[in-house]
A and B are shown apart, each in its own frame.
Chain A
């Protein structure tokens, strides 16, 4: 099921819900400060949250972590978290956009919205990851990434704090990798460091 990975990736997108902080601590904590592509993340947080999670993760990880700003140019070595109550999207040219369009899958930010817009922009040069969480947000977006030739990764449901998001993704598509959280940083590094 391993695909031909000899290509350069432009971005990594991650969707996570319940159990997100712990999972992201582990995943982002395992990436080096010079991780060669930008990381865009949607985690379901309450509408009135501030940028506390980004600040916390930034203090714990080598990679830079920040809340996404509108019109911001994405760069490697940085992880961008969708702000509370806004959808996060990517524009052609690699700048970030925010929207207050209605919630998708009862969520704003929604993983599907990020994944679908990233697939539009990056096509096959994209890696999508679904981690622990309740609900099914992200499944359709991950399918789109797959249809556009990108690499799809799902946390092993048995390993997830809440397994419905990974399970729902795996029901919809055959992921390229189904991995434990602790193996994930290595899987990602192997993918992005492989030379074309």
Chain B
């Protein structure tokens, strides 16, 4: 066995242990990225090998949390992919406006930037008070950060640019207050967002949603897990509802694709069909 193959074995053993001890299931995560993240964690952890780290990791929750942070934290931006938010504003909002109240599930919300972006967008199109966003992430630590709605002031320039490119109709500076080197998002944005920990790999579905965003979360999953999570999202989405994936995540060749219609090319916004095809019963 090469040293590389031994690392593969160590990763497998560790993931099995993590699942049994803590219930986090990374066994069906795509190996290339997970490996990169684990090696990165290892290099700053002080342990020589994953085998040496395994025993303390399985016994010390605090240490495990640093690993969890290392392998689950995703970078986020407000109005990340402005053209996506523009498409939501122009193509999806007209449909949402026809409902008295809309429910949105943002799965994999990380530190909350995109959930707040969605709240801003919905305020601007006149849906204030008529929506609730359930923003979830596997990592409780990022959920705590998301709840605070405080971001480094230096980010605001980029967020503002994104906001403008996304078709924002107001002034982005109206949505935050600068204090020292931080920007505190307006509390009115938080009113309609519920942040909660939720693990797509092991937890169950969420009620009847009109819109589900799960962008660049499943790119880290192997195919069987991806299919399972897509089916979970499908179960949680009302007919006529919208499913939004990352720019490079397509529903082509996925089990649920027959029930969905692509709204626009290269945007990965899908609409769930109303009429289910009558299935032939045996």
Contacts and interface: CB of A to CB of B under 8 A. Distances in A.
Contact of B219 (A48, A92, A98): A98
A123 B248 CA distance: 28
A123 B4 contact: yes
Given A120-B4, A123-B2, A123-B4, A100 B219 contact: yes
Contacts of A99: 32-33, 36, 219-220
Contacts of B74: 100-101
B248 A120 contact: no
Contacts of A101: 33, 36-37, 74-75
A90 interface: yes
B266 A70 contact: no
Interface residues of A, number: 25
B11 to A, nearest CB: 11
B54 interface: no
Contacts of B33: 87, 89, 97, 99, 101
Interface string A55-96: 000000000000001110000000000010111011110000
Contact of B249 (A50, A70, A120, A121): A70
A77 B220 CA distance: 27
B208 interface: no
Contacts of A121: 32
Contacts of A92: 8, 31
Closest 10 CB pairs of A and B: A89-B32, A99-B33, A100-B216, A117-B32, A97-B30, A97-B32, A98-B219, A102-B75, A91-B32, A83-B248
Interface of B: 2, 4, 8, 30-33, 35-37, 74-75, 81-83, 216, 219-220, 223, 226, 246-250, 266
Given A97-B32, A101-B36, 8 more contacts: A85-B81, A86-B247, A87-B33, A99-B36, A99-B220, A100-B219, A100-B246, A123-B4
